[in-house]
A and B are shown apart, each in its own frame.
Chain A
Amino acid sequence: MLKKISKIPFKGTAEQKAKLDAVIAECKDNKSLLMKVMQDAQEIYGYLPYEVQVMIAEGMDVPLEKVYGVSTFYAQFALSPKGEYNISVCLGTACYVKGSQEVLDKITEVVGITEGECTADGKFSLEACRCIGACGLAPVMMINDEVYGKLTAKEVPDILKKYGA
């Protein structure tokens, strides 16, 4: 699956930059720590947009393309920010056979973004995840830490309404 590159303008703060600079200062003499720096950067910013990857590339003296290559290879790295409400739909085997794809499609219809994207107002982000260990409740989705089980696509709009969709 190709990762979607967010078009939402970067809103990094000076405080975030200071944190990342500190991580880079600690790691810059060992290029094999690139992954660690990227993981920490994602902790700090929530995702790895262009601006952050440039900071990492310059700081670690690694070509930007190499940073991007790593960020698109590993599933753990996100190129889109997480919304205020991150919707995570389980596409694990049990949920999938119980119809979680329809749930996912319905969410897309309601909030207007597809998997891996974030709404322009930063309110919702959507991701498909693997088994979250709640197969008994399949199909399952999570909105931040809230778990919704035994879902049908029909229930989706009402649930999302609670979050202001």
Chain B
Amino acid sequence: MENTNLVNIKINGMPLSVPAGISILEAARYAGIEIPTLCYLKDINEIGACRICMVEVVGARSLVTACVFPVSDGMEIYTNTEKVRKSRKMTLELILSTHSKECLTCVRSGTCELQQLCKEFGVDDSDAFKGEVIHYDFDDSAAHMIRDNNKCILCRRCIAACDNQGVSVIGANARGFDTHVSSAFDKDLADVSCISCGQCIVNCPTGAIVEKDDTAKVLEAIHDPEKFVIVNTAPSIRATLGEAFGMHIGTNVEGKMVAALRRLGFDKVFDTDFAADLTIMEEATELVERVKNGGVLPMITSCSPGWIKYCEHYYPELIPHLSTCKSPQQMFGAVMKTYYAQKMGIDPKNMVVVGIMPCTAKKFETKRDDEAASGYPDIDFALTTRELARMIESAGIFFRHLPDEEFDQPFGESTGAGTIFGATGGVMEAALRTAVKLITGNEAPSIDFEEVRGMKNIKEADYKVGDLDVKVAVASGTKNAKVLMDKIKSGEADYLFIEIMGCPGGCINGGGQPIQHAVVRNFVDLKARRAAALYDDDKNDVKRMSHENEGVKKLYEEFLGEPCSHKAHEVLHTSYVERKKYN
């Protein structure tokens, strides 16, 4: 707080010095007071619309919205008077007057911010303002989510999240009582250029936007004796799953996660990190080949299906820059249904491969063309972290008390490089660790590429690898990707390699991750804390470079030949399509 102007204020009679210009909401936190919010999302949705955060300011004509009202010297604020409590309760009752009250069957029951506030403010009559209600049809057109506007409270957080991705395919349409969130010309979500990132879902305070639930289909497969059901867990899941069971943000629950999956009845519990290492072998080789053979540069990573869909809709002319590598999830499934099926003598038809993903776009990805190396879809189902948590809960597994168990082999082996795939900069760092080896023949002197770590929107770094200048850029969140794409288009970009992750902060903040209320998103560095769990894991790994993965080496020896071989292309690479921005 040095070098800032301070103002003296009083909150609930408590004198306090806070930086000038901050909001009452932020100032109250210095006093240890949490003012409830619904519409507020720090930096991206500061609109003072929901009126839940009303507080009394001495001398003010009426209650003010704490989320956008700046403090000034001498201000006296009361956050918990009867007038304030009455106002908040009435606001909640008014919201409830048009809100579908299917709380018993709502997937967000227990994590719903509206439900929690109703409890906190003692709302005892959900029909206090009974009146006309508009009934909205579900929009379940998209591969990954369902919108139920009957549960929408018009906080506009989803709109802000979509704008913050530079996608903006949803907005508030019509006016007054008819106002509703939808797409241009009220088209279905599947008919607009939505990228399936799911940032709207994790930012929704209620159950108005939810992922499509595939857990029943997975359970059906598990219970089918004909089916050999393999699960693989993305790098970031171990860093976030614990949150769904009340554990601290950033707790690495890898061992318990494996134990839970085994108890759910999966035949094999493998690690997507293995496929992340495999991706690095392919992608780093592809990069070196492009450099040697004058291929299209900069090359851009292709692990994030939200990013891929964004590129296809908004920058189709840059598709040749995308690495042709499938994402780790899809590579994993492809290896299972070809190599592993052969090895185990299982007909790939009877193999069901499930991905546990931080991501809703993965649901879309499983249905893409050219993602079926064996003739059957590489991945049958992609479940989000939230869906896995629900499966664990409904199976009566006491997650926090599970013993730590290890992944099955041979696809449970991974290196630190595979693990950091879950955070922005991780794929780049993993690739650099191996690229040094590929280019120079020697191991990198230091394998900590600190410059590409961290939560900055866009990171750039320059490395000298042998004789080669390797200028790289990393962006997370498609709005930030746009900046780099425009640079490529204008010819300003002199990068060799670019990593893009569709969600801000990377997979650890993916649209499929556990719900954290806005109060956490606003005041805790969720992304950094989750990412720290992955970097800690990497630091403590004995092997930290993808090319050290013995299982991956064996896979090349026995099946693929070498990275980017003809066989590897057949199994591990894919193609992209131009999509329209307007349909």
A binding-site residues for B, Cβ under 8 Å: 1-3, 5, 50, 53-54, 63-69, 72-74
Complex interface: chain A residues within 8 A of B582 (CB): 54, 64
- Min CB–CB distance A147 → chain B (angstroms): 29
Closest to A66 in B: B171
Decide: A50 near B185, CB < 8 A? Known: A1-B178, A69-B173, A72-B174. Answer: yes
- Chain B positions within 8 Å of A, measured between CB atoms, are 163, 168-175, 178, 183-186, 192, 582
Known: A5-B186, A50-B185. A68 touches B173 (CB 8 A): yes
Report how far A3 CA is from B185 CA in the complex, Å: 10
Do A2 and B178 touch (CB < 8 A)?
yes
Q: How far is the CA of A66 from the CA of B184 in the complex (A)?
A: 8
How many angstroms from the CA of A1 to the CA of B176 in the assembled complex? 9
Q: What are the residues of chain B within 8 A of A73 when measuring CB–CB?
A: 173-175
Find chain A residues with CB under 8 A from B178 CB.
Answer: 1-2
**A54 / chain B contacts, CB cutoff of 8 Å:** 582
B174 near A64 with CB under 8 A, answer no
CB distance from B161 to the nearest CB of A (A): 14
A65-B170 in contact (CB<8A): yes
Cα distance A53–B186 when bound, in Å?
13
Q: List 6 A-B residue pairs with CB atoms under 8 Å apart, sorted by A's residue number.
A: A53-B185, A54-B582, A63-B169, A65-B169, A65-B184, A69-B172
Residue of A nearest to B168 (CB): A63
A2–B184 alpha-carbon span in the complex (Å)? 14
CB of A65 within 8 A of CB of B183, answer yes
In the complex, residue of chain B having the shortest beta-carbon distance to the beta carbon of A3: B174
B34 CB, nearest partner CB in chain A, Å: 32
Q: Chain B residues with Cβ under 8 A from A67's Cβ?
A: 184
What residue in chain B is nearest A73 (Cβ atoms)?
A: B175
List A contacts of B170 (CB < 8 A).
65
Cα distance A63–B192 in the bound complex, in angstroms: 12
Give B49 Cβ to nearest chain A Cβ, in Å: 15
Q: How far is the CB of B154 from chain A (nearest CB, A)?
A: 13
- For A5, the chain B residues whose CB sits under 8 A away are 185-186
Inside 8 A of A69's CB, which chain B residues have their CB? 171-173
B174 touches A53 (CB 8 A): no
A-side contacts of B185, CB under 8 Å: 5, 50, 53, 68
Further contacts, 4 of them, CB under 8 A, given A64-B184, A66-B168:
A3-B174, A53-B185, A65-B184, A65-B192
Chain B residues closer than 8 Å to A68, beta-carbon distance: 171, 173, 184-185
User: A2 — which chain B residues lie within 8 A by C-beta?
Assistant: 174, 178
Is B174 in contact with A65, judged by CB distance below 8 angstroms?
no
Please determine whether B175 and A72 come into contact, CB atoms closer than 8 angstroms. Answer: yes
A130 to chain B, nearest CB (A): 15
Contacts of A72 in B (CB 8 A): 173-175
- The chain B residue sitting closest to A53, CB to CB, is B184
On chain A, the residues within 8 Å of B168 by CB distance are: 63, 65-66
Measured CA separation A118–B168 after assembly (Å): 30
Question: How far is B3's CA from A150's CA once the two chains are assembled, in angstroms?
Answer: 75
Bound state CA distance, A72 and B185, in angstroms?
9
Q: How far is the CA of A81 from the CA of B171 in the complex (A)?
A: 24
Decide yes or no: A65 and B175 within 8 Å by CB, A5-B185, A5-B186, A50-B185 being known contacts: no
In the A-B complex, the 6 residue pairs with the smallest Cβ-Cβ separation, listed nearest first, are A63-B168, A68-B184, A65-B171, A64-B184, A69-B171, A65-B184
Chain A nearest Cβ from B44, distance in angstroms: 15
B170 to chain A, nearest CB (A): 6
Q: Determine the chain B residues whose CB is within 8 A of the CB of A50 once the complex forms.
A: 184-185
Residues of B near A66 (CB, < 8 A) are 168, 171
* Residue among A1, A63, A66 facing the most chain B CB atoms (10 A cut-off): A63
Q: With the chains together, A33 CA to B168 CA distance in Å?
A: 19
A3 to B183, CA, bound (A): 14
User: Shortest distance in angstroms between B47's beta carbon and chain A's nearest beta carbon?
Assistant: 14
Which chain A residue has the least Cβ–Cβ distance from B193?
A64
CB neighbours of B183 from chain A (8 A): 65
Cα–Cα, bound, A69→B174 (Å):
7
| Identity of the chain A residue whose Cβ is nearest the Cβ of B166 in the assembled complex | A63
Q: Which residue of chain B is the closest to A50 with respect to CB atoms?
A: B185
Q: How far is the CA of A45 from the CA of B209 in the complex (A)?
A: 37
Docked complex Cα distance between A67 and B171 (Å): 10
What's the minimum C-beta distance from B332 to chain A, rounded to whole angstroms? Answer: 35
A69 to B175, CA, bound (A): 9
- Chain B CB count within 10 A is highest, among A53, A67, A72, A74, for A72
Complex Cα spacing A152 to B212, Å: 54
A74 contacts which chain B residues (CB < 8 A)?
175
- Give A14 to B172 CA distance when docked, in angstroms: 32
CB distance from A25 to the nearest CB of B (A): 21
Distance of B526 from chain A, by nearest CB (Å): 27
Bound together, the chains give a CA A50 to CA B580 distance in angstroms of 15
With both beta carbons as reference points, the residue of chain B lying nearest to A54 in the complex is identified as B582
A24–B101 Cα distance when bound, in Å, is 46
Bound-state CA distance A53–B184 (Å) is: 9
CB distance from B562 to the nearest CB of A (A): 45
In the complex, the chain B residue whose C-beta lies closest to that of A67 is B184
A65–B178 alpha-carbon span in the complex (Å): 16
A residues in contact with B175, CB < 8 Å: 72-74
In the complex, what's the smallest C-beta–C-beta distance from A72 to chain B, in angstroms? 5
